[in-house]
C-alpha cells in the first residue's frame, strides 16, 4: 500500500534547489533543472540520501505537507518524547501528589476555627457552579484519557492486556476529542463570571508573604478570592487556553500555525531568534510536546486545588456543592468579602 504511494510522491519530487535545513518540498513550480521522475521499480538511494540531508525540491501535489518526504528531526523528537520528556512528566505528577500527601501529613485538615457558626451564606450561584463543574468534570476526563495516551502503554497495557487497552484507548480518544469543547466552553464561562474578582490587589501580596495562613501564623485578609485562588484561576484560564489552542492544532492537523506565529511575535517584541518558517510537520511535533507539557503542569496545579477544595479544608466543598458556606468559614478565609456583604446589607443570611 505504502510503496506505490511513496513512488508516486517521489515521481512528483523535483530536485535542484539549494540545500536548506530540512527536506521540505514546495508546491510552486520553478525554472530549475529538469524534473527527476522515478520509474516504479527504480530505487535511487542517492535521491533519498539527498532528501535526508536537506536537499529541497518541489512537488506538484496540492498538499505541501505531503511533499515532505523525510524529516530527520522526527527521530530526535520521538526519542525526546518517549525518553526524558515522559520521565519529567511523570516526576511532575508524582511530585504534586507527594507534596499534597506531605502537606496533609504535616498540617492535617484545615479546620473552621471556633467551629461552624451554623449560619450559611451564598457563595456561588447556579451559573457559577455549572461553569465550575462543567470545567472540572471535562478536565478530569481529559486528564485521565490524555495521561493514558502518554503513559498508558507503559502502565495500563501490562495490567489490562492488549484487547482491553485497545478498546479503552479508542473510547478514551473519542472522549478526549469531543469533551475538549466542553472544557473550552467551561473556561470561557468561568473567565467571564470571575475575571473581575481575580484582578490582583495589594492584599494578595500580604497573603503571599504570609503563605496564605496555611502554614500557621494568622489569617491574611482576602476579598472574594485570595491570591492562591487567583493563581488557580489564572492558571486554568491561561494554561487552559494554551491547551485548547494546541489541542485544536492536533485535532485539525496542518490547519493552524500557532508556533510559527507565536515565535515570530516573540521575536519581533523581544529581539529573540526563535526559529520561524517552521515546516508543517515541525508545527505538529511542537504542538504534541507543548500540549503534553502544559497539561501535566495544569494537572499538577489542579491536584493541589482538588485537595484543598475537598479533604484539605473543612467547609470548603460546600461552596461548590450547595453554593453556600458557613459564616465562620467565610470570615476566616474571606474576611473582606464578608465585610463588603455586610456593608451592602446582604447579610445576615436566610
Ligand atoms: C473534584 C474536583 C474539584 C473539587 C472538589 C473542586 C472544589 C472547588 C471549590 C470548593 C471551590 C471554591 C473555593 C471557594 O469557595 O473559595 C473551587 C473553585 C474553583 N475551581 Fe474547583 N474543584 C475541583 C476541580 C476543578 C478543576 C478540574 C478545575 C479546572 C480545571 C477547577 C477550577 C476551579 C477554579 C478556577 C476555581 C475558582 C478559584 C479557586 O477557588 O481556586 N476546579 N473548586
Specify the domain boundaries for CATH 1.20.950.20 within the chain.
Answer: 76-343
Distance of CA 291 to the CA centre of its chain: 5
Q: Residue 262 to residues 270, 281, 324: CA-CA distances in angstroms?
A: 12, 16, 43
Instruction: Give dist(CA 276, CA 264) in Å, integer.
Output: 6
Q: Which fold has domain 76-343?
A: Fumarate Reductase Cytochrome B subunit (1.20.950)
**47 CA from centroid of ligand 1 (Å):** 57
Q: What is the pLDDT along the chain (350 residues), one digit of tens a residue?
A: 344 433 433 333 322 222 333 334 444 444 556 666 666 666 778 878 887 877 777 776 777 666 777 778 888 999 999 999 999 999 999 999 999 999 999 999 999 999 999 999 999 999 999 999 999 999 999 999 999 999 999 999 999 999 999 999 999 999 999 999 999 999 999 999 999 999 999 999 999 999 888 766 678 999 999 999 999 999 999 999 999 999 999 999 999 999 999 999 999 999 999 999 998 899 999 999 999 999 999 999 999 999 999 999 999 999 999 999 999 999 999 999 999 999 987 775 44
Question: Which residue bears the cell 506505490?
Answer: 4
Q: Which residue's alpha carbon is nearest to atom 3 within ligand 1?
A: 306
Best residue for ligand 1 mutational test, from 100, 130, 132 (most atoms within 8 Å of Cβ)? 132
47 near 12, Cβ under 8 Å?
A: no
Instruction: Give dist(CA 200, CA 68) in Å, integer.
Output: 48
Cell reading at 268: 519581533
Q: Residues lining ligand 1, CB < 6 A?
A: 123, 132, 135-136, 139-140, 190, 225, 229, 232-233, 236, 302, 305-306, 309-310, 316-317, 319-320
Atom of ligand 1 nearest to the CA of 310: 5
| CB-count exposure of residue 159 (10 Å: 0-12, 13-18, 19+) | exposed
Amino acid at each position: 500500500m505504502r510503496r506505490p504511494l511513496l513512488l508516486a510522491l517521489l515521481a512528483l519530487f523535483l530536485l535542484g534547489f539549494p540545500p536548506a535545513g530540512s527536506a521540505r518540498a514546495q508546491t510552486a513550480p520553478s525554472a530549475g533543472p529538469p524534473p527527476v521522475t522515478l520509474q516504479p521499480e527504480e530505487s535511487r538511494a542517492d535521491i533519498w540520501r539527498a532528501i535526508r540531508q536537506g536537499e529541497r525540491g518541489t512537488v506538484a501535489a496540492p498538499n505541501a505537507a505531503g511533499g515532505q518526504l523525510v524529516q530527520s528531526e522526527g527521530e530526535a523528537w520521538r526519542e525526546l518524547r518517549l525518553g526524558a520528556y515522559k520521565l519529567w512528566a511523570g516526576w511532575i505528577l508524582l511530585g504534586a501528589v507527594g507534596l499534597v500527601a506531605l502537606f496533609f501529613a504535616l498540617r492535617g485538615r484545615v479546620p473552621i476555627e471556633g467551629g461552624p457558626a451554623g449560619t450559611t451564606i451564598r457563595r456561588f450561584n447556579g451559573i457559577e457552579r455549572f461553569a465550575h463543574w462543567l470545567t472540572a468534570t471535562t478536565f478530569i476526563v481529559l486528564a485521565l484519557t490524555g495521561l493514558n495516551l502518554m503513559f498508558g502503554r507503559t502502565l495500563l497495557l501490562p495490567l489490562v492486556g492488549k484487547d482491553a487497552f485497545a478498546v479503552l484507548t479508542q473510547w478514551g480518544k473519542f472522549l478526549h476529542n469531543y469533551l475538549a469543547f466542553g472544557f473550552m466552553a467551561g473556561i470561557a464561562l468561568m473567565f467571564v463570571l470571575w475575571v473581575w474578582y481575580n484582578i490582583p490587589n495589594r492584599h494578595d501580596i500580604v497573603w503571599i508573604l504570609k503563605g496564605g495562613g496555611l502554614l500557621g501564623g494568622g489569617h491574611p485578609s482576602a476579598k472574594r478570592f485570595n491570591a492562591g485562588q487567583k493563581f488557580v484561576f489564572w492558571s486554568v484560564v491561561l494554561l487552559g487556553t494554551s491547551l485548547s489552542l494546541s489541542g485544536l492544532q492536533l485535532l485539525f492537523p496542518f490547519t493552524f500555525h500557532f508556533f510559527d506565529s507565536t515565535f515570530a511575535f516573540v521575536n519581533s517584541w523581544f529581539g529573540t531568534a526563535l526559529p520561524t518558517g517552521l515546516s508543517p510537520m515541525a508545527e505538529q511535533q511542537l504542538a504534541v510536546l507543548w500540549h503534553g507539557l502544559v497539561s501535566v503542569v495544569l494537572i499538577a496545579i489542579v491536584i493541589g486545588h482538588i485537595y484543598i477544595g475537598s479533604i484539605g479544608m473543612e467547609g470548603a466543598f460546600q461552596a461548590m456543592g450547595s453554593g453556600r458556606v458557613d459564616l465562620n468559614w467565610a470570615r476566616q478565609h474571606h474576611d473582606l468579602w464578608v465585610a463588603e456583604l455586610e456593608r451592602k446589607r446582604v447579610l445576615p443570611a436566610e
